[in-house]
Amino acid sequence: MAEVLPAEGLLATSWLLIALPLAGAAVLLLGGRRTDRWGHLLGTGTVVAAFLLAVLCTVRLADVEGRSVDVDLFTFISTGELDVRAGLLYDPLSAVFVLLITGVGALIHVYSIGYMAHDPARRRFFAYLNLFVAAMLLLVLGNSYVALYVGWEGVGLASYLLIAFWYTRPGAATAAKKAFIMNRVGDVGLALAIFVMFAQLGTTSYEGVFGAVGTLAGGTVTALGLLLLLGACGKSGQFPLQAWLPDAMEGPTPVSALIHAATMVTAGVYLIARSAPIYDLSETARTVVMAVGALTLLIGAIAGCAFDDIKKVLAYSTVSQIGYMFLAVGLGPAGYVAALAHLLAHGFFKAGLFLGAGSVMHAMHDQVDMRRFGGLWNKLPITFGTFGLGYLALIGFPFLSGFFTKDAIIEATLDRDDWLGWTTGGVAVLAAGLTAFYMTRLMLMTFFGRPRWEDGVHPHEAPPVMTVPMVALAVGSVFSGALLVAVFPLSDWLEPVFGEPEEAEHVIEPFIIGIALTVIMALGVLAAWLFVGRREVPVTAPVRVSPVTRAARNALYADTINESLFMRPGQWLTRALVWVDNRGVDGAVNGLAAGLGGSSSRLGRTQTGFVRTYALGMLGGAVLVAGALLAVTSG
């Protein structure tokens, strides 16, 4: 890592990036109904201001020696040997994330003004979105794992609040709980990793940890890598914690675009890329990261082929694409830049696709079933155009962004030239074909064919406040790949973080891989046309289908497995514990109390109320005492 200088001038004010959206959220939440009229404008304004500040900061950063500055803020925790300073690290890696978060975030805020125009709780929506942006910026800007953890939990909270934004719908409330609980499972891993750092190194700042990680035993480093991976899997919807992400689509569509496609779910990739010095030391951890990525990208691609809910297909596509990024970061130094390029390109086209899906839903009275769409291309021309460009970018159409970034990942994987590289690379190539298949299926079912609309639906194009962000993201999805790979190479910009890019020895010429992937993509498109485009799409899903389709429709039984493996045994355990508590612990305490109560009421019967009985008792007692005294003194 390059040397980190203390921040000066404009860069020293980069804490404003976090403070602006946070202040927006505070004003909107505390201001209540008084802010209803202009709340959405304030919410959008703070994020746009943060974006402008981020651009200025990044330009300034480019001139700084080593391109990494540290912004020391205040003492966060200080007790005994434990001293945690709150501070920000503005380096090329956080800079690209800040630009992505504020840039895409600002566009989605603008879009939401139109999308949520008729929702009575629009102000609350913008407050939560601002809260999310603030937490996410803290996550990527923090200069220690503790700061990252605070942001990590903050985005989890914002995600929970936004999935359950329409909390009166049972589905949304359940999905939010599911997301929150599955994230907790992952967060335990991240928390344990931080505890290990405290215990072994006594510090959690990136500088301190990465400086001293080389002194740790190999097993400890691997444990750190695996625990961080668990945290990353939870946040990024990776196997085995992928099931929450598709359900999270119950939230409003801009939320799906911003949080569950472009930014928050990529936090896992950020975590692993940021922890590169740890992963560089543990071959095992990297292998597990690659395996998780390859498995998830296949699961996501298979499940994406079977769903009829447009947002769920896009959600599984997100799961699958983040799988690609995990596969790439698992490669180590060869893959970090490829992963981040794909992450940025994905941020553009997937956010654009989700906004397009939102526009379609807007036009179709919140219908999400693609079997009820069809023939929308001439009714929604701008949506069709932008969605189509995002689609082409995602499936890797030549010279659009996905083509550059996904190919780079597959190339880097195959360049390993060992069994792991060939297996995971093969899976990635197969999934590229599946991606083309399910996305073409989505396009055909939504925009082409005979209209299968419900009665009374009259599709109309969205207002400009929604279409302008879609156009901007479509432009990004067309050009970002070429810009990041060829014109302004991301590898040069990230050089202070990941070191000098090595000239890889190619096992297969990149040119041949590019052609092969284009052919596979074309095969996927052709297959989709054969299966979906050529025939009428039935309005209800066919019931008699092959076991493979049935498994894919159930997302490869991920929920069933989770339920039978974790939830049911967990329920049994809690039931057993409740039984032990009620019968055992409570039984002992209650039994003691009941025994004392019973015996005392029985003893109470001897209190007859007859004075002479008492007198006899006293006399007897006195005689006994006297007798005892006599026996003692005379004996």
List of residues contacting another protein (CB under 8 A): 601, 604-605, 607-612, 615-616, 619
The residue (of 41 and 616) whose beta carbon lies closer to another protein is: 616
**Which one, of 79, 201, 61, 88, lies nearest residue 144 by Cα?**
88
Q: How far is the CB of 599 from another protein (least distance, A)?
A: 13
Contact assessment for residue 16 and residue 102, using Cβ atoms and an 8 Å cutoff: no
Q: How far is the CB of 632 from another protein (least distance, A)?
A: 21
Q: Give 183's contacts (C-beta < 8 A, 6+ positions apart).
A: 156, 159, 234, 235, 241, 244
CA distance linking residue 152 with residue 164, whole number of Å: 19
Q: How far is the CB of 593 from another protein (least distance, A)?
A: 19
Q: How far is the CB of 581 from another protein (least distance, A)?
A: 35
The residue (of 378 and 608) whose beta carbon lies closer to another protein is: 608
Cα angle 268-274-279, degrees, rounded to a multiple of 5: 90
The residue (of 171 and 621) whose beta carbon lies closer to another protein is: 621
Contact assessment for residue 369 and residue 453, using Cβ atoms and an 8 Å cutoff: no
**Which one, of 87, 215, 231, lies nearest residue 146 by Cα?**
87
Q: How far is the CB of 574 from another protein (least distance, A)?
A: 44
The residue (of 585 and 623) whose beta carbon lies closer to another protein is: 623
The residue (of 588 and 619) whose beta carbon lies closer to another protein is: 619
Q: How far is the CB of 624 from another protein (least distance, A)?
A: 15
Q: Give 147's contacts (C-beta < 8 A, 6+ positions apart).
A: 76, 86, 87, 88, 138, 141
The residue (of 579 and 614) whose beta carbon lies closer to another protein is: 614
Query: Residue 198: enclosing H or E segment and its boundaries?
Result: helix 170-201
The residue (of 118 and 612) whose beta carbon lies closer to another protein is: 612
For 608, the token pair is 């007859």
**Which one, of 461, 519, 561, lies nearest residue 239 by Cα?**
561
**Which one, of 55, 120, 595, 113, lies nearest residue 358 by Cα?**
113
Q: Give 628's contacts (C-beta < 8 A, 6+ positions apart).
A: none
Q: How far is the CB of 157 from another protein (least distance, A)?
A: 59
Residues in the chain: 635
Query: Residue 71: enclosing H or E segment and its boundaries?
Result: strand 69-79
Beta pairing, strands 5-6 & 82-90: unpaired
Contact assessment for residue 478 and residue 389, using Cβ atoms and an 8 Å cutoff: yes
In 580-610, which ranges are continuous DSSP H helix?
586-604
**Which one, of 47, 19, 181, 184, lies nearest residue 109 by Cα?**
47
The alpha carbon of residue 531 and the mean position of all alpha carbons in its chain are separated, in whole angstroms, by 33
CA distance linking residue 319 with residue 329, whole number of Å: 15
Q: What is the DSSP letter of 506?
A: P
- The DSSP bridge partners found for residue 411 are none
Q: How far is the CB of 635 from another protein (least distance, A)?
A: 22
- The DSSP bridge partners found for residue 605 are none
The residue (of 79 and 633) whose beta carbon lies closer to another protein is: 633
The residue (of 546 and 600) whose beta carbon lies closer to another protein is: 600
The residue (of 538 and 604) whose beta carbon lies closer to another protein is: 604
Q: How far is the CB of 597 from another protein (least distance, A)?
A: 13
- Find the Cα–Cα–Cα–Cα dihedral 189, 195, 197, 200, rounded to 10°: -130
Q: How far is the CB of 594 from another protein (least distance, A)?
A: 18
Q: How far is the CB of 622 from another protein (least distance, A)?
A: 9
Q: Give 9's contacts (C-beta < 8 A, 6+ positions apart).
A: 60
Q: How far is the CB of 611 from another protein (least distance, A)?
A: 5
Q: How far is the CB of 160 from another protein (least distance, A)?
A: 58
The residue (of 540 and 601) whose beta carbon lies closer to another protein is: 601
Q: How far is the CB of 623 from another protein (least distance, A)?
A: 10
Contact assessment for residue 347 and residue 321, using Cβ atoms and an 8 Å cutoff: no
Q: Give 332's contacts (C-beta < 8 A, 6+ positions apart).
A: 276, 279, 280, 286
The residue (of 79 and 600) whose beta carbon lies closer to another protein is: 600
The residue (of 569 and 598) whose beta carbon lies closer to another protein is: 598
Sign of CA dihedral 190, 194, 195, 199: positive
**Which one, of 338, 341, 334, 342, lies nearest residue 501 by Cα?**
334
The residue (of 82 and 630) whose beta carbon lies closer to another protein is: 630
Residue 582: half-sphere exposure toward Cβ, Cα within 13 Å: 6
